[in-house]
Amino acid sequence: MGRILNLSPLIVPMIKHYLIVAAALVLGHSLSAQQTFPVNGPSVKNGKVYAFTHATIHIDHITTLKDATLIIQDDKVLTVAANAAIPANAVITDLAGKHIYPSFIDLYADYGVAKPSRERDQNFSPQLETRKDGPYNWNQSIKPEVNAVELFKANDKAAGDLRKIGFGAVLTHQADGIMRGTGTLVSLGENRDNLIIIDPRASSHVSFQKGSSNQTYPSSLMGSIALLKQTYLDAKWYKTPANRDHVNLSLQSVNDNAMLPQIFEAINKYNILRAAKVGSETGVSYIYKGGGDEYQRIRELKAVSARLIIPIDFPEAYDVTDPYDAQFVGLDDLKHWEWAPANASELEKNGFEFAITTAGLKDKKDFLKNLRKAIKAGLSESAALKALTSTPAAFINNGSKVGALRKGMLANFFISNDDIFEKGNIIENWIQGTPYVYDKLDEKSLEGKYTLKINDVSYPLTITKEGDKLKSIVQLYGTKDGKADTTKADVKIDNTRSLITLSFEPNGAHFNGLVRLSGTIQDNNEWKGKGKLMNGDWVSFVAIPSEKTAAKPDSAKKPTITAKPGAVLYPNMAYGRPELPAAKSMLFKNATVWTNEKEGIVDNADVLIIGGKIARVGKNIPAGTATVVDATGKHLTTGIIDEHSHIAISNGVNEGGQAVSAEVTIEDVVNPDDINIYRQLAGGVTTSQLLHGSANPIGGRSAIIKLKYGYGPEQMKITSADKFIKFALGENVKQSNWGDFNTVRFPQTRMGVEQTMRDAFIRAKEYEASWKTFSAKGGAMPRKDLELETLVEILNGKRFITCHSYVQSEINMLMKVAEEFNFRVNTFTHILEGYKVADKMAKHGAAGSTFGDWWAYKYEVKDAIPYNANLMASQGVLVAINSDDAEMARRLNQEAAKSVKYGGMSEENAWKMVTLNPAKILHLDKNLGSIAVGKDADLVLWNDNPLSIYAKPVKTLIDGAVFFDTEEDLVLRKTMDQERERIIQLMLEAKKSGEVTKKIEPKAKHLYHCDDLELFD
């Protein structure tokens, strides 16, 4: 005969709760949710109703209810209210002292969607064309036809890692390629894939990374940008059935996905601005997945109304214990380590809409720790909750399903034992009405001080928590060997729901041997029960809280805000300033002024600048309100202009994937954070033409910038300047030094180079004719082609060629091709054999931009001579001296001086080769290149004759603002040293406190030259 067990009131609730959880795990969804699937056996409808009472419920980031009730049925929320009527059939859970939050949403995940790997050709042969079968795009990095929902396969381990940190849903996509297709919003439950998919086509995804594609194009960031722009243009053209002469499912998908939220993986602050520019040009509005450095360019990002998804994968501190090793850590890395946790706070202060993602975290367990670090750095709890719930839901138009706790929304919520943004732990995470249990729901908080009373003898008991473990110490008082006993004993303690057991071995006056106690925790937090001594005697005990860690009001629970980090600098790196340089009125008195005008070099002259322009040039000019600069004994010149530079370019100077890449432009990839900008300001350079490299016969378009160190990329560009493009001749374009495995691309001979150019211009003329026909007669609209649009500009004199050149035969060839197509080559750059064809160049109208005496670096420069510049100038060629090198640009004044030595050029004419002549070559001489009234105040004050090897700039001005000053430079160096040491001390403290640090690895910055090739992906 079986025994009837009398389960105590203590045990029954525990069993009841876990039976409920078990049932819910089995019956986590209603039959109606899977009615399209046959049931093998009787159909059972769940219909379970759960009521969670007396909780602090965060409905959303705005509304929080105290002592409220959440009621759910199956996978939906029924009601949330302070005094909700609980259905009779509801399973009730008392959550007094607990918090309920909407489960978090991650908009940037690849959960359940495999990323394809790059398969290299076994013969290492470049891939020029697509290898994807079917009527798809010509480039494999463009694959908008990919749908994540078709690739999705739930992964419970990955889902479990996210559930444990509070997430209930993620937007997942295949993070591969430039156009990546659609993303799907999925719940992190364990049900059939069909049941956890919330929105199968919730978003469209874009990036600048080509991903797994092996095609040679694009090979640079500017190539990726151009390909993206062209694809949007092609899709727009493809929309009209009359235009189509073929089927392209990729372009069709671009159009099909156009109404979805567009999420752009930008990686960093400048790529956000670049993507915004693409969006502005193509009519696409993006949500940007950033890199956590947005705080560095808040103003520029506000100007483009950026909506953001930001990571919180904060960088680890460096191990800066060794002061010599510490020198290899850049100030930019030091400052970003300090500022990264405050990024979200800065975005909140400035009114940005942003979501937070786990993307980038090496270990998902760090998420809550980093989130709390962001809150300590100033992010408000409401903004944090918004960034993890309602904002991501709204970004992808799913705010009616997830992101809050309202009637009819999915029952995605988690229960925590305290404020999750301060120190709370997640106890349970319910996904679509199914619970995932991580801790004991009603475990009492035991930390604090107690009076432990055993048989009327009292002992102080202290309990603390170290990590997930309790540490308990009992203080024993009595006598031992005739002396007061102040022994402390460690207490072993175990707590399961309301049951508590503890044991210790005092060896004191009152008890000898092990004391074992067992009892229950009362509602008033007292412990009561009985125990047994080592001699077998039973004792009664009670533990009364004497200094219990009490729940504080919410206003007192806010985390301490960490110290505000040092000022953001512009740029946020070496020699950056907390404020941008601004124009001011200045009067330079008693200078030797190199005017580059008919007045020539004028001694003891004054120059007045007002509003960024040169206002007066002469003698005895009254200062008025202008700041007076005593220039006695000094020389004042216009700023140096570098016709051929490769500084300040991001992710590739060459787009070498095709023979013609006129569609790409350096303007898309200007990098304002290049330290060479500041270094060249220190050498007197104020303007540079940033040229594409020489990997192909027809390269990319150039950018002409003023070296406004600290300003954003758009503010540096001279937008009114004429437009230029880089062509190239010689060894590089025919791939002479690329290696055997890289010689697939046409052309591979000098004859092929000429043919490539002729073919390109023939196609451009045909292209222009097709548009003229369309404008006159209508019919099918031609496809807009960015490459051919650029070449048409050349034919029509609206864009000008700077051509990389060495050998006279090729120089002659290009001039003949240009004359055949009725345009002129604007500039031959390098042109080290220019002295051989100077008369022909002068007749053609081509300028020459060359080196002072730089040669012997490859075979085709073997005939270079130091008299080249003089000889070209003697034949009437407009001659400039350029750098083509970041280091050489710091001493272009000395490069110009070499023509005084070699050939006896006058100092004035030599100086013009780095100022007025390049201004004329770049068609900028109306505003630059000389000191004349009305021109831009781009000036350099030198301590000596600017052609002297002893000359150094004292001040370098652009548009009337001082961007380099020798006295300020000394201050900046001292300030940088102090800032470095301040942050290093913080890193040392972080290491001392137990934070993980990383080893310092010196990083060498690559300086681009014409022939540099790198793969950007």
The string of pLDDT tens digits covering residues 586-629 is 999 999 999 999 999 999 999 999 999 999 999 999 999 999 99
- What does the block give as tokens for 437? 């249990």
Mean pLDDT over residues 758-774, rounded? 98
Answer yes or no: is pLDDT of 227 > 70: yes
Q: Which residues, in sequence order, are CB contacts of 64 under 8 Å at separation 6+?
A: 56, 57, 58
- Range with lowest mean pLDDT among 213-227, 463-477, 901-915: 463-477
Cα 50 to the center of its chain, rounded Å: 43
Per-residue CA distances from 737 to 127, 733, 753 (Å): 19, 10, 16
Determine the 3-state secondary structure of 983 from DSSP: helix
Determine the 3-state secondary structure of 825 from DSSP: coil
Determine the 3-state secondary structure of 561 from DSSP: coil
Cis bond upstream, residue 571 (ω within 30):
yes
Answer yes or no: is pLDDT of 851 > 90: yes
Answer yes or no: is pLDDT of 547 > 70: no
What's the confidence (pLDDT) of residue 555?
Answer: 45
Answer yes or no: is pLDDT of 554 > 80: no
Q: Are 694 and 1010 in contact (CB under 8 A)?
A: yes
Q: Give the DSSP letter string of 485-539.
A: E--EEEEEEEEETTEEEEEE---SSS--S-EEEEEEE-TTS-EEEEEE-TTS-EE
d(CA 419, CA 554) in angstroms, rounded, equals 9
What DSSP element (H or E) covers 799? strand 799-805
Determine the 3-state secondary structure of 639 from DSSP: coil
Torsional sign, CA 731, 733, 737, 740? negative
Which residues, in sequence order, are bridge partners of residue 627? 586
Place of tokens 């189509």: 244
Q: Are 799 and 725 in contact (CB under 8 A)?
A: yes
Longest dimension (CA), the chain: 123
Mean pLDDT over residues 872-901, rounded? 97
d(CA 106, CA 403) in angstroms, rounded, equals 11
Residue-wise pLDDT tens digits, 28-76 = 344 344 567 777 776 655 678 999 999 999 999 999 999 999 999 999 9
Answer yes or no: is pLDDT of 349 > 60: yes
Mean pLDDT over residues 800-809, rounded? 96
What's the confidence (pLDDT) of residue 8?
Answer: 38
Residue-wise pLDDT tens digits, 73-94 = 999 999 999 989 999 989 999 9
Answer yes or no: is pLDDT of 480 > 50: no
Residue-wise pLDDT tens digits, 158-179 = 999 999 999 999 999 999 999 9
Residue-wise pLDDT tens digits, 334-347 = 999 999 999 999 99
Neighbouring CB atoms inside 10 A of 248's CB total: 17
Torsion of CA 621, 626, 632, 636, to 10 degrees: -90
Mean pLDDT over residues 376-385, rounded? 98
Of 96, 106, 48, 108, the closest CA to residue 72 belongs to 48
Q: Are 149 and 766 in contact (CB under 8 A)?
A: no
Residue-wise pLDDT tens digits, 256-278 = 999 999 999 999 999 999 999 99
Q: Which residues, in sequence order, are CB contacts of 265 under 8 Å at separation 6+?
A: 108, 175, 205, 206, 207, 208, 209, 289
Cα 935 to the center of its chain, rounded Å: 38
Answer yes or no: is pLDDT of 674 > 50: yes
pLDDT confidence bin for 684, thresholds 50/70/90: very high
- What does the block give as tokens for 350? 């400035």
Cα 952 to the center of its chain, rounded Å: 37
- What does the block give as tokens for 451? 């009076």
Q: Are 732 and 745 in contact (CB under 8 A)?
A: no
- Range with lowest mean pLDDT among 498-507, 612-621, 710-719, 774-783: 498-507
HSE-up of 920 (CA within 13 Å, CB side)?
18
Answer yes or no: is pLDDT of 255 > 50: yes
What DSSP element (H or E) covers 205? strand 197-207
Q: Are 176 and 115 in contact (CB under 8 A)?
A: yes
Higher pLDDT, 723 or 563: 723
What is the CA angle 83-441-86, rounded to 5? Answer: 25
Q: Are 684 and 953 in contact (CB under 8 A)?
A: yes
pLDDT confidence bin for 563, thresholds 50/70/90: confident
Which residues, in sequence order, are bridge partners of residue 181? 205
pLDDT confidence bin for 460, thresholds 50/70/90: confident
Cα 89 to the center of its chain, rounded Å: 51
DSSP-derived pairing of the beta strands 197-207 and 262-265: parallel
* Cβ burial, residue 163 (10 Å; 0-12/13-18/19+): buried
What's the confidence (pLDDT) of residue 122?
Answer: 56
Answer yes or no: is pLDDT of 127 > 90: no
